[in-house]
Each structure stands twice: as structure tokens, then as C-alpha cells.
């Protein structure tokens, strides 16, 4: 009997555009280099809408939008969709850029939102 052993793969880490003292990895973890050479992981908060957020240089950002800014094209008119519908799952494999219309269609199709615009 052969056992398969999977190696843990480190997520890619990139500098957040516009914030050279901050990095983000493919799992949505934010790291700060502002106060020391050793990176410090920032603790996310939760917005009223249910999205994870972090404060960078005095301003609060939703993590999924920082992921878009860092890892995606940021094409004009596109928004970030959480493929599995869970707003706190910010890993890169779960995020995609879509039109607002497609995002709403996805929310209706998964039962996250009713066609009249109300939450399910």
C-alpha cells in the first residue's frame, strides 16, 4: 500500500501596490514591515457587511479588494466575487473578477441574495 504525502506549498507573497511596507499572500494574510525587519501579520477585523478588513496607514481596506489590487488585473468595471459565496474566504483560488451583473447573478444562483435584492 502506497501513501501519498503532500508537501505544504507556501502561498505566493507580493507587495501591496501603493503600500511598499505591506505584503499580502495568496491566502489573504497581510504582513507589515513598518516597525521591524521581521514581518508582522496584521489581525483582520470584520466589516458590517461581513467582509474581513485590515487597517493600513490609517485607512481600512477589505482584504478581497487588496487581493484584487495585488493579484488580479483590476480592470475598470470589474468587482471581486467569492466563488464559494463565503465573504471571509479570501484565498486567491476562491476569488474572481466579474462584472457587477455577473456577481449579482452568482449571488442569486447560490441563494445568497434574492432576485428582489434582499439577502436570503
Q: Which tens digits make up the pLDDT trace of 41-73?
A: 999 999 999 999 999 999 999 999 999 999 999
Residues 103, 78, 117, 90, CA torsion sign: positive
What grid cell was written down for 92? 486567491
- Per-residue pLDDT tens digits for 85-112: 999 999 999 999 999 999 999 999 888 8
- Per-residue pLDDT tens digits for 74-86: 899 999 999 999 9
- The 8-class DSSP code of residue 95 comes to E
Distance (Å, rounded) from C-alpha 56 to C-alpha 77? 24
Distance (Å, rounded) from C-alpha 102 to C-alpha 9? 32
13-109: in CATH 3.90.75.20: yes
Amino acid at each position: 500500500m502506497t501513501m501519498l504525502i503532500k508537501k505544504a506549498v507556501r502561498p505566493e507573497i507580493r507587495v501591496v501596490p501603493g503600500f511598499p511596507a505591506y505584503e499580502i499572500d495568496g491566502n489573504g494574510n497581510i504582513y507589515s514591515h513598518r516597525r521591524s525587519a521581521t514581518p508582522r501579520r496584521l489581525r483582520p477585523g470584520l466589516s458590517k457587511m461581513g467582509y474581513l478588513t485590515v487597517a493600513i496607514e490609517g485607512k481600512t481596506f477589505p482584504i478581497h479588494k487588496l487581493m484584487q489590487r495585488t493579484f488580479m488585473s483590476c480592470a475598470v468595471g470589474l468587482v471581486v466575487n467569492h466563488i464559494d459565496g463565503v465573504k471571509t474566504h479570501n484565498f486567491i483560488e476562491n476569488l474572481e473578477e466579474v462584472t457587477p451583473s455577473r456577481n449579482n447573478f452568482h449571488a442569486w444562483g447560490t441563494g445568497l441574495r434574492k432576485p428582489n435584492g434582499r439577502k436570503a
